[in-house]
Amino acid sequence: MRQIARTFLLLAGVLLVQHPAISSPDPIVFENRAPGPYQVWTSYGSDFRVQNFRMHERTHITALGIGNLMPNSEGAGQTLFAAIYRIDTPHSVPEVIGDGELLATTLIQIPDEMANVSGELSLVVEPGWYAIVTGRGRHGASAQSGHGRIGDNGTTAHPDAWWSTYTLNPTTGERTWMGITLRYFIKGQTLPPAAAPSRQFRVESARPQARWTQSANPINNSVWYGTRFEVTRQSRIDRAGTWLYNGSGELFAAIIRLSGPEDLPLPTNHPNFMNSVVGLTLMPVDVPHNTYWARFEDLLLEPGHYALAFGSNRFGASGSANSMTLADNVLLPGGLIWLSSSGDWLWSTGSDRMFILEGLKPDIVVTPNPVDFGTLDVGESATQGMLVTNWNEDEDVRILQVELDAPDFALGDDLIECEDMILGSGQDCVFSVMYQPSSGGEHSAMLRISTDGEPGLVEINLTGTGAQPALEFLQETIDFDEVWTDAGGKTLSATLTNNGSGAAVDLEPNLAGSPAFSISGGNCGTSLAAGSSCQLDIQFLPSGTGPLTATLLVDEQQGTIPAQLNLSGAGREPFLQLSPENLDFGHVVVGSQRQLAVEISYQGGAVAEILEAGLGTGSSGYSIDSSSCLPGTLLEAGQACTMEVVFVPEAEGLYPGMVIIDAGEPLQASLPLGAQGVGDRLFRDRFEMR
* Residue 681 clears pLDDT 70, i.e. is over it: no
* Residue 392 clears pLDDT 90, i.e. is over it: no
Which comes out higher in pLDDT, residue 500 or 23?
500
pLDDT recorded at residue 685: 56
pLDDT recorded at residue 311: 97
CA–CA separation, 124 and 505 (whole Å): 73
* Residue 16 clears pLDDT 60, i.e. is over it: no
pLDDT recorded at residue 676: 94
126 — pLDDT class (breaks 50, 70, 90): very high
* Residue 226 clears pLDDT 50, i.e. is over it: yes
Closest CA to 101 of 173, 172, 11, 16: 11
pLDDT recorded at residue 686: 56
pLDDT recorded at residue 319: 97
Mean pLDDT of the chain: 90
> What is 563-618 written as a DSSP string?
EEEEEEEEEE--EEEEESS-EEEEEEETT--EEEEEEEEEESSSEEE--EEEEPTT
349 — pLDDT class (breaks 50, 70, 90): confident
What percent of the chain is predicted at pLDDT more than 90? Answer: 70
Number of neighbours of residue 15 by Cβ within 10 angstroms: 15
Closest CA to 284 of 310, 256, 255: 310
pLDDT recorded at residue 14: 39
Query: Would you call the peptide bond into 368 cis, given omega within 30 degrees of 0 as the criterion?
Result: yes
User: What domains can you pick out in the chain, each with its CATH number?
Assistant: 7-190 (2.60.120), 200-360 (2.60.120), 364-465 (2.60.40.10), 471-572 (2.60.40.10), 575-680 (2.60.40.10)
pLDDT recorded at residue 8: 29
* Residue 22 clears pLDDT 50, i.e. is over it: no
453 — pLDDT class (breaks 50, 70, 90): confident
pLDDT recorded at residue 12: 35
* Residue 236 clears pLDDT 50, i.e. is over it: yes
The winner for highest mean pLDDT among 286-290, 366-370, 482-486 is 286-290
CA–CA separation, 296 and 280 (whole Å): 7
What pLDDT digit, counting tens, does each position of 275-328 carry?
A: 999 999 999 999 999 999 999 988 989 999 999 999 999 999 999 999 999 999
* Residue 390 clears pLDDT 80, i.e. is over it: yes
What pLDDT digit, counting tens, does each position of 569-597 carry?
A: 999 999 999 999 899 999 999 999 999 99
What pLDDT digit, counting tens, does each position of 429-446 carry?
A: 999 999 999 888 899 999
CA distances 229 to 198, 204, 254, 345, 411, Å, are: 19, 9, 13, 15, 37
* Residue 520 clears pLDDT 70, i.e. is over it: yes
- In this prediction, residues 347-358 reach a mean pLDDT of 92
pLDDT recorded at residue 532: 93
Cα angle 393-399-402, degrees, rounded to a multiple of 5: 140
> What is 360-399 written as a DSSP string?
E--SEEEESSSEEEEEEETT--EEEEEEEEE--SS--EEE
Give the three-class secondary structure for 87. Answer: coil
